[in-house]
Amino acid sequence: MADETQIEEMLEYIWILEENDGKAVSSCIGDKFGEDIANTYITEMVEKQLINLSDREIAFTKAGKKRAEMIIRRHRIAERLLNDVLEMRGEEFERGACQFEHFVNEEIVASICTLLGHPEVCPHGNKIPQGECCLSAKKNLEPVISPLSLIKAGKKVKVVYISTKSHASLDRLTGIGVIPGLELTIHQKFPSMILQYGETQLALDNDIAKNVYVRIIQS
Ligand SMILES: [Zn+2]
Ligand SMILES: [Zn+2]
Ligand SMILES: [Zn+2]
């Protein structure tokens, strides 16, 4: 019986071969997954009408391309999440993204995509296929998420996430109540950034403000 995860991994790899070399040949699939597994699954994918094989060259069918596009999208959105928000690197990062793509559904991907401001490229610089959420965000000009340090004075924003490796600055932010969900106004930017929320006013170093990702809720 065909293992769906294995099929998804292969579709993903075919996509990457096409992206890098302009075409995918069956021997490359063999090099990556082993000759036997590659042959079994290529036959399987042809039967399922996900790919066509002609003279060792693999081409997606319409359905296969759609499926591969979704896997690539999930993988690259996962990369952004793991890299930007969770600050994972190396082995943990690579494995995490590949596991993630097999178990999340489109709804979760759309929420994460929105949270991240509909990123267009992954941390490696590869294009992320767009989803419905990205298209409707463009239409409605939904404000994207950006670092607090780039927002002009006078704007009201909502904290979406905090991205920092430094536990000291994370502790400082939580200590003063700057946590995801907080709505605040940028009172002043120079000479130092002053934030206002409720009755509270506080100064924030630009170094720390860089790590606070917000969405503008009122211009
Ligand atoms: Zn993968
Ligand atoms: Zn990537
Ligand atoms: Zn999106």
- Contact between residue 87 and residue 68 where contact means Cβ atoms under 8 Å apart: no
Long-range contacts of 67-70 (CB under 8 A, 24+ apart): 67/8, 67/11, 68/11, 68/12, 68/14, 68/15, 69/15, 69/129, 70/106, 70/129
pLDDT at 44 over 80: yes
- pLDDT 10s digits, 90-100: 888 888 888 88
Q: Which of 2-6, 60-64, 172-176 has the highest mean pLDDT?
A: 60-64
pLDDT at 1 over 50: no
**Domain, as residue range, for 42:** 1-60
Q: What is the pLDDT of residue 116?
A: 87
**How does residue 168 score in pLDDT terms, banded at 50, 70 and 90?**
confident
Q: What is the pLDDT of residue 128?
A: 97
CA of 45 to the centre of ligand 3 (A): 29
Mean pLDDT of 199-204: 89
85 and 55, same structural domain? no
- Write down the mean pLDDT value for the chain: 89
**Domain end call among 105, 139, 173:** 139
pLDDT at 75 over 90: yes
CA of 169 to the centre of ligand 3 (A): 29
Give the length of the chain: 219
CA of 170 to the centre of ligand 2 (A): 27
pLDDT at 114 over 90: no
CA of 75 to the centre of ligand 1 (A): 6
Question: Which two structure tokens, joined as six digits, stand for 56?
Answer: 């060792």
210 and 155, same structural domain? yes
pTM: 0.74
**How does residue 122 score in pLDDT terms, banded at 50, 70 and 90?**
very high
Percent of the chain with pLDDT over 90: 53
DSSP state for residue 179 in the 8-state scheme? -
Q: Which ligand is nearest to the CA of 11?
A: 1
CATH number at residue 199: 2.30.30.90
**How does residue 117 score in pLDDT terms, banded at 50, 70 and 90?**
confident
- Contact between residue 156 and residue 185 where contact means Cβ atoms under 8 Å apart: yes
* Number of domains observed in the structure of the chain: 3
190 and 127, same structural domain? no
**Domain end call among 60, 78, 95:** 60
Residue 181: which of 192, 189, 193, 173 has the closest Cα? 173
Mean pLDDT of 39-66: 95
CA of 140 to the centre of ligand 3 (A): 12
Lowest mean pLDDT: which of 30-34, 53-57, 62-66, 136-140?
Answer: 136-140
- Contact between residue 45 and residue 51 where contact means Cβ atoms under 8 Å apart: yes
**Domain end call among 139, 160, 194:** 139
- pLDDT 10s digits, 128-161: 999 999 988 777 766 678 889 989 999 999 998 8
CATH number at residue 115: 1.10.10.10
Mean pLDDT of 28-47: 94
29 and 51, same structural domain? yes
